[in-house]
Amino acid sequence: MLQSLLARLRQMGRSAAPAHGAARLRELEREIDQEQALQWSAAVLGLLGVLLSVTLHPAFAVLTALAFAMLGQYAVQGWCPPLPLLARLGLRSSSDIDRERYALAAALDERREPRLPAAERAAS
């Protein structure tokens, strides 16, 4: 995916590539990663378990325990059962998003004209 993005940037003109690259960088900043989705789902599952156990039946407290177990396993092992499901849904890990962000930023910096420091411009 990164190579295709970089290839598309190279095919674009010099003026269009920075604009497209800047827009893609903004998209990457807003993209939700697997870790954020896992935290949100654990929070919702925990709250739902508490509410259902208080209002309906105490057995629903298992949902809260499941949410904490899921977060604990992720914290210790870096993996938990919902991660493959999140990947199938199209969510990427934060390291994948960061890799694309840094590659895109490096490609955009290569396209910019080298600038002389202000002191050197004044001397010339």
pLDDT, tens digit (0-9, with 9 covering 90-100), for 115-124 = 545 555 555 5
Same domain as 77, residue 45? yes
**Does 82 share its domain with 64?**
yes
Q: Is the full-model pTM beyond 0.95? A: no
Cβ neighbours of residue 32 under 8 Å, at least 6 residues apart? 91
Higher pLDDT, 116 or 44: 44
Look at the chain and report how many structural domains it folds into: 2
User: Which residue range forms the structural domain that includes residue 66?
Assistant: 33-91
Specify if 120 maps to a domain. no
Q: Between the CA atoms of 49, 50, 51 and 54, what dihedral angle is there, to the nearest 10 degrees?
A: 120
Q: Are 41 and 2 contained in the same domain? A: no
Per-residue pLDDT at 118: 52
pLDDT single digits (tens) 3-26: 565 555 555 544 445 667 788 888
